[in-house]
Amino acid sequence: MIKNEAMKIVSQQEIAESIYELTLSGSLVSEMNQPGQFVHIKTGNGYEPLLRRPISISAIDKENNTFTMVYRAEGKGTSLLSQKKNDAAIDVLGPLGNGFSPEAAMSGETALLVGGGIGVPPLYELSKRLTKLGVNVIHVLGFQNAATVFYEEKFQALGETYITTVDGSRGTKGFVTDVIDKLSDSYTTIFACGPTPMLRALESAYKETKEVFLSLEERMGCGIGACFACVCHTADDPTGFHYKKVCSDGPVFRAGEVVL
Amino acid sequence: MNMLDIQLPGLDLKNPIMPASGCFGFGKEFGNLYDLNVLGAIMVKATTPEPRFGNPTPRVAETSSGMLNAIGLQNPGLKHVMADELPWLNQFDVPIIANIAGSQVEDYVTVAREISKVSNVKALELNISCPNVKEGGITFGTDPLVAKNVTEAVRAVSEVPVYVKLSPNVTNIVEMAQAVEAGGADGLTMINTLMGMRLDMKTGIPILANKTGGLSGPAIKPVAIRMIYEVSQAVTIPIIGMGGIMTAEDVIEFFYAGASAVAVGTANFTDPFVCPKIIEELPVLLKKLGYNHISECTGRSWNKHEQFANHRA
Ligand SMILES: Cc1cc2nc3c(=O)[nH]c(=O)nc-3n(C[C@H](O)[C@H](O)[C@H](O)COP(=O)(O)OP(=O)(O)OC[C@H]3O[C@@H](n4cnc5c(N)ncnc54)[C@H](O)[C@@H]3O)c2cc1C
Ligand SMILES: Cc1cc2nc3c(=O)[nH]c(=O)nc-3n(C[C@H](O)[C@H](O)[C@H](O)COP(=O)(O)O)c2cc1C
Ligand code: FES
C-alpha cells in the first residue's frame, strides 16, 4: 500500500562527488517489498520546489525499519535534500511503482545487472535479493569518472563487478556495453537501470536471446498514475493510443514491452 | 451544523471542495489513498470522442511555485470512460463533473449527449480552454462568438447543467464569461492554465516536448483571484474557482473573490491528501473568521454587506 509519512533521517553522507546516501526510518518501510520501486520525496517545506522528486529505493532493512536511497544532488530539489541533517523529517510518499522481480532468474543461473550513473542504486537491493535466491550475479556499472563512482565494494561483495568510466579514470574506459560485449555468455537474465540510450542499446542487442528487464526514467507529476505525465507508447502500438505509465505500470518493464 | 454544504445547478455538494480535471485521473489512484466519499465532487479527466495519446514526453516542467504541463488531453475515449471509469466511480456518493473536450463543435456535442446520460454525471465542464492541443481546445476559449456557439450546441443536447471552463489566455475575460452566459451556460469554472514555457539551462531548448505548456499551481493564484473578482460581478451564474489552491486560506480567498465552490489541481501532486485536509480545516478556519457558513464568504471582496450570491437552496 502507498503511504505518506514524515520519515526521520538516520544518516546522510556524501559517498562520491555530489552523490549522497540517505537512510530514513519509519513505518513506511514495512510496505516495501520489491527492489526497483521508488519513493516520491518532498524536498522543501513551502511551495518551492513544488513537485516531489522520484528516487529509487536502493536498500531495505526491515529489521531496523529503515531504507536507503542514493541520489545525485544536482538541481533545486536534490540540493535541498542533501542539506538536511540527521533527525530531520522528510515527507515521503511510497513505495511506488512496480520494480524488478528477482524471481525472474532461477537459483543456479547467472544474472547480469547493468547500471548507469544514478541508475545504479536500485540494483543494489536487487542484487542482494538475487544472491539470497542462489542466483549468481555479474555487475557492470558505468560512471562519468572516478570521482562519481560509488558502491563498488558493496557490489563486489555480492558478485563479479566491472566498472566503466567515460573518461577512463577508473575501470574500463567507455560505456557499459564495451564490457558486456566481451563477457562470456553465461547469463540468462539482464536487469538494467540507467540513461535511455543505454537501455536502448541493451534492448536491441539482447532482447531476442535473454530475458531483459529495464527500469525507465521520466519526468513526473503525481507519481501514482493519475496525471498522465509519464506515459510511453507500448511496443505493439507504437503510434497509437495504447500506453503504459512509467510511475505506476513501471518503472520496470520487460524489454520490448514499451517504446524507449 | 454543516458549514460547507453548497447547492449549485445540478450539484448538491456536501462541501465545495473538488479535485480539478486532469489532476485526479478518474479517481482510482487517489481512491487507493483515501475514501473519495469525503469529496464535494470530482472533476474527471477530459474526455474526447475517440481515445487520445496526447503529446510526446517530457510533458511536465517545474517552475517557480508552479508547473507547466502539456499532457495533450490524453484519455481513453468516450466509450471506455462510459463503460469503465464512470461506473467505477458510482460506488461513491459523490457527484461527478465530466470534463469534455474536442477539436470541433461536433466532438463536444457527441461527448455531451452521451456522457450526460450517465447517472452519476451531475454536470458537464466544457473545456474550451486547453492550451495544449493543436486544433480546437483553446481556440474555442479565446473567441467570444465561437465560445457562445459551442456552449449553445452543448446546452441543447446535455441532460445535465453545463459549466464552461474559461481560459485566462485572453485580453478580456469578462467578455468571454458574458458570451458563454448568453450561450446558456449554467455556471463557469475558472481558470484553466496560463500558456508558458521553460528552457533547459544546458541545451537552451524547451524542456517540454510540446515546447509550450499550461502554467498551474500557486504561481497563478493572483491571476485567478483577479479574474474571478471581475467576472463574478458581471454575470449571474455561479463560479467554481481554481488556480493555485493549496490551503483552506486559499479557498476562502477564492470565495471572497466571488467563487461559490473551488477545485484543487496541482496541489494534489505536492500532497495527495490535500483535498481531505482542506475539507477538515475549513470549518475551523471559518469559525475563527466568524462565519457560520462558507457561502457567507462568496463575493465579499466587492459586496461586503449584502448577503448575496449565496447559492444555497
Ligand atoms: C523512477 C525513478 C527513479 C529514480 N531514481 C533515482 C535515484 O535512485 N537516484 C538519483 O539520483 N536519481 C534518481 N532519479 C532521477 C531523479 O528523479 C532526478 O534526478 C531528480 O528528480 C532531479 O531533481 P533536481 O531537484 O535535482 O532537479 P531539478 O532540475 O530541480 O528538477 C526539476 C524537475 O524535473 C524533474 N527531473 C529532472 N531530472 C529528472 C530525471 N532525470 N528523471 C525524472 N525527473 C527529472 C524533477 O523531478 C523536477 O520535477 C529517478 C527518477 C525516476 C523517474
Ligand atoms: C497535469 C494537468 C492536467 C490537466 N488536465 C486538464 C484537463 O484534462 N481538462 C481541463 O479542463 N483542465 C486540465 N488541467 C487544468 C486544471 O484543471 C486547472 O484548471 C489548473 O491546473 C489550475 O488549477 P491548479 O493551479 O490548482 O492546478 C490540467 C492541469 C494539470 C496540472
Ligand atoms: S507521474 Fe502522474 S501518471 Fe505518472
Contacting residues of A for B77, CB less than 8 Å apart: 241
Ligand nearest to the CA of A123: 1
ipTM: 0.95
Q: Evaluate whether A87 touches A78 at the Cβ level (below 8 Å).
A: no
Q: Which of A50, A55, A124 to mutate to test the pocket of ligand 1 (most atoms within 8 A of CB)?
A: A55
Q: Which atom of ligand 3 is nearest to the CA of A223?
A: 1
Beta strand extents in chain B (DSSP E only): 6-8, 11-13, 17-19, 42-43, 60-63, 66-69, 96-100, 121-127, 162-165, 187-190, 194-197, 212-216, 239-241, 261-264
Q: What element of type H or E holds A231?
A: strand A231-233
Query: In this predicted model, what pLDDT tens digit does every residue of B212-221 receive, in sequence order?
Result: 999 999 999 9
pTM score: 0.96
Does A153 have pLDDT greater than 90?
yes
Query: What CA–CA distance (Å, rounded) separates B207 from B200?
Result: 6
| Per-residue pLDDT, A114 | 98
| Per-residue pLDDT, B140 | 83
H helices of A59-191, in order, are 76-82, 121-132, 152-156, 176-180
Distance from CA of B311 to the nearest CA of A (A): 31
| Per-residue pLDDT, B312 | 44
Residue A28 DSSP label: G
For residue B20, the CA-to-ligand 2 centroid distance in Å is 6
Mutation site for A-interface testing, chosen from B53, B245, B247 by largest number of A Cβ within 10 Å: B53
Q: Evaluate whether B42 touches B96 at the Cβ level (below 8 Å).
A: yes
Q: What is the mean pLDDT of chain A?
A: 96
Residues of chain B short of pLDDT 50, as ranges, are 308-313
Q: Closest to B57 (Cβ–Cβ): which among A1, A218, A227? A: A218
| Per-residue pLDDT, B138 | 66
Confidence of residue A99 (pLDDT cuts 50, 70, 90): very high
Q: Which residues, 6 or more positions from B130, have their beta carbon under 8 angstroms from its beta carbon?
A: B46, B73, B101, B137, B138, B192, B214
Q: Do A241 and B25 touch (CB under 8 A)?
A: no
Helices B248-257 + B274-289 axis angle, to 10: 60
For residue A37, the CA-to-ligand 3 centroid distance in Å is 14
| Per-residue pLDDT, B313 | 35
Q: Which residues, 6 or more positions from A46, have their beta carbon under 8 angstroms from its beta carbon?
A: none
Q: Do A228 and B74 touch (CB under 8 A)?
A: yes
Distance from CA of A200 to the nearest CA of B (A): 17
Is B130 an annotated catalytic residue?
yes
Q: Evaluate whether B164 touches B220 at the Cβ level (below 8 Å).
A: no
For residue A171, the CA-to-ligand 3 centroid distance in Å is 37
Residue B107 DSSP label: H
What residue's CA is closest to ligand 3, atom 3? A225
Please state whether A76 falls in left (phi above 0), alpha (psi between -120 and 50) or beta.
alpha
**CA neighbor of B192 nearest in space, from B128, B269, B249, B247:** B128
Contacting residues of B for A218, CB less than 8 Å apart: 57-58
For residue B219, the CA-to-ligand 1 centroid distance in Å is 22
Q: Are strands B162-165 and B187-190 parallel, antiparallel or unpaired?
A: parallel
Q: Evaluate whether B67 touches B216 at the Cβ level (below 8 Å).
A: yes
Q: Which atom of ligand 1 is nearest to the CA of A77?
A: 25
**CA neighbor of A199 nearest in space, from A124, A126, A258:** A258
| Per-residue pLDDT, B284 | 98
**Amino acid at site A120:** V
Contacting residues of B for A94, CB less than 8 Å apart: none
The DSSP annotation for A53-73 comes to EEEE--EEETTTTEEEEEEE-
Confidence of residue A26 (pLDDT cuts 50, 70, 90): very high
Query: What CA–CA distance (Å, rounded) separates A237 from A93?
Result: 32
509550450: which residue's cell?
A: B212
Q: Do A2 and B33 touch (CB under 8 A)?
A: yes
Size of interface A-B (CB pairs under 8 A): 106
Query: In this predicted model, what pLDDT tens digit does every residue of B107-123 receive, in sequence order?
Result: 999 999 999 999 999 99
| Per-residue pLDDT, B129 | 78
The DSSP annotation for B224-277 comes to HHHHHHHHHTT-SS-EEE-SS--SHHHHHHHHHHT-SEEEE-THHHH-TTHHHH
Q: Give first-to-last CA distance, chain A, whole Å.
A: 28
Q: Which residues, 6 or more positions from B187, have their beta carbon under 8 angstroms from its beta carbon?
A: B8, B9, B123, B161, B162, B163, B164, B237, B238, B239, B240
Q: Which of B23, B130, B275, B297 is catalytic?
A: B130
Ligand nearest to the CA of B243: 2
Q: What element of type H or E holds A117?
A: none
